[in-house]
Amino acid sequence: MPDARATAVTNTNPNSCVNVQTARLCKPWQISSAGREFIEAWEQFRPHMYDNDGAGGGGNTTIGYGHLVHQGPISGAPSEAPFLNGITQAQGHQLMQHDLIDPQRIVNQRINVPLFQYKYDALVDFVYNLRHHNEGLLNLVNTGHYDRVPAKFMDYTSAGGAHPAGLVKRRRAEANLFKEGNYDASH
């Protein structure tokens, strides 16, 4: 799909009515169900708390579809109390729905160029996974150079100095989603 920003001249007769349709979104943008499923596939539901983020060492206390319970490893902190017996998948979906509010807000506030739904979904997944230090990619999107964005995703594959295979695959999938609209999250 071509993705250049477009301009158009409509009928300038003030007494005429011209209907214009576009596949681009109007703000506020919201993640699609396919976008949520894409994120869920990468986060993989875990009914019990865990703190190994896959980067080779301990991570942050997490549950469900990547819901952050607190920074740092499982420690018996009060924030862990509601999750001691685990959660159901339905509760995991509710937590994720709540956790998606902030990434959607960030993308809505930071992006000032038109987007197709799949491009927005890719950016929300990226921000969901990388809440901080994402300015470079979001700034590039705002230049309107959509063709350069997929390669930029690959600048964000480092975790603790390593390049975990799962993170590299996720960034490739996000880049592919942004470029092609392919919601394939197999890994």
Residue from 22, 2, 27 nearest 10 by CA = 22
On whether the CB atoms of residues 75 and 84 are closer than 8 A, the answer is no
Taking residues 118-146, report their average pLDDT.
95
Whether the model pTM is above 0.85: no
At CA 127, angle to CA 92 and CA 68, rounded to 5? 40
**Range with lowest mean pLDDT among 14-23, 37-46, 81-90, 167-176:** 14-23
pLDDT tens, 58-89?
689 999 999 999 999 999 999 999 999 999 99
Q: Does the structure show a pLDDT above 90 at 120? A: yes
Residue 3 banded pLDDT, cuts 50, 70, 90? very low
Q: Does the structure show a pLDDT above 90 at 28? A: no
Q: What is the mean pLDDT of the chain?
A: 88
**Range with lowest mean pLDDT among 21-35, 60-74, 82-96, 114-128:** 21-35
All domains of the chain in start order, with CATH: 33-180 (1.10.530.40)
Query: What's residue 25's pLDDT?
Result: 54
Residue 2 banded pLDDT, cuts 50, 70, 90? very low
**Residues contacting residue 178 through CB under 8 Å, at least 6 positions apart:** 118, 119, 122, 123, 146, 149, 150, 153
Query: What's residue 107's pLDDT?
Result: 96
The Cα-based distances of 179 to 86, 104, 147, 185 in angstroms read 37, 19, 7, 14
